[in-house]
Amino acid sequence: MWIFGYGSLIWNPNFSYHAHRLARIDNWVRRFWQGSIDHRGVPGHPGRVVTLVSEPLGNCWGVAFNCEKSDNQQVIEDLDLREKGGYHRQSVTLNFNDGSTAQGVVYVADPDNPDYLGPADEIDIARQILSSEGPSGSNREYLSNLACALRTLDVSDSHVFLIESKVQTLIATRPSASDLL
């Protein structure tokens, strides 16, 4: 069984696998449109995490993890719990650099789930990320880890890197405590 990671699974899979490969899924793009009240935010003040959005001609690069057959049930149970905040399993075709393909499983949060936030102006997404924190840590840390992991994989993602740039601009331009005195 192959599991496709495009968000925190890239740097923190937290399940057993015996191989991993860079992979691409077509007709999907990664977006910070899913609310997180269980990991990177709290009820009443959700963080923003990535989901996949259907987009013809789009593609999303990530990491495909190959799990041993004997571990499949446990991996799915663990991921179902981890991704319970609005995500569901979906079958996708994974495209590898060598031209081969495989069927895989990915977790997607559709617009009909109660935590879905949808599109917003990038600066508003950045503000929300900068001000959110949950049981798994700050939303800013999530963004930073994702951007760093994508760079390590040599994957370009204009949406992620634009949000990262907006967060950095907000940090650089916010007044310091001494400015407020």
Query: What would the DSSP string read from start to end of 41-80?
Result: SBTTB-EEEEEEEEEEEEEEEEEEEEPPGGGHHHHHHHHH
**What distance in Å separates the CA atoms of residue 165 and residue 27, rounded to the nearest whole number?**
25
- Fill in the DSSP letter of residue 123: H
**Catalytic annotation present for 77:** no
Reading the block at residue 164, the tokens are 């990262």
**What distance in Å separates the CA atoms of residue 143 and residue 60, rounded to the nearest whole number?**
16
Distance of CA 37 to CAs 13, 65, 71, 90, Å?
20, 26, 29, 22
Residue from 55, 83, 122, 133 carrying the catalytic annotation = 83
**What distance in Å separates the CA atoms of residue 172 and residue 72, rounded to the nearest whole number?**
45
Contact 128, 47 (CB under 8 A): yes
Q: Which of 52, 86, 76, 81 has its CA nearest to residue 2?
A: 76
| Residues tagged active-site | 83
